[in-house]
Amino acid sequence: MVLRNAPEGEAPRGATLLTAVRLAAAEWDECEKEPSVRPGGQPNMQQMLKQAQKMQQQIAQAQAELAEAELTGTAGGGLVTATVSGSGELKAIRIDPKAVDPEDVETLEDLVVAAVHNATEAARELTEQKMGPVTGGMGGLGLPGF
Parent domain of 86: 49-134
pTM above 0.85, yes or no: no
Q: Is residue 42 domain-resident?
A: no
Q: Is residue 19 domain-resident?
A: no
Does the pLDDT value for residue 10 go beyond 50?
no
What is the per-residue pLDDT across 103-146, written as a single tens digit (0 to 9) for each? Answer: 999 999 999 999 999 999 999 998 888 887 776 655 544 444 44
Give the residue among 37, 56, 55 at the shortest CA–CA distance from 47: 37
In total, how many domains does the chain have? 1
Q: Is residue 146 domain-resident?
A: no
Q: Is residue 125 domain-resident?
A: yes
Q: Is residue 20 domain-resident?
A: no
Q: Is residue 64 domain-resident?
A: yes
HEC string of the chain?
Answer: CCCCCCCCCCCCCCCCHHHHHHHHHHHHHHHHCCCCECCCCCECHHHHHHHHHHHHHHHHHHHHHHHHCEEEEEECCCCEEEEEECCCCEEEEEECHHHCCCCCHHHHHHHHHHHHHHHHHHHHHHHHHHHHHHHCCCCCCCCCCC
Q: Is residue 6 domain-resident?
A: no
Query: CATH number, domain at 123?
Result: 3.30.1310.10
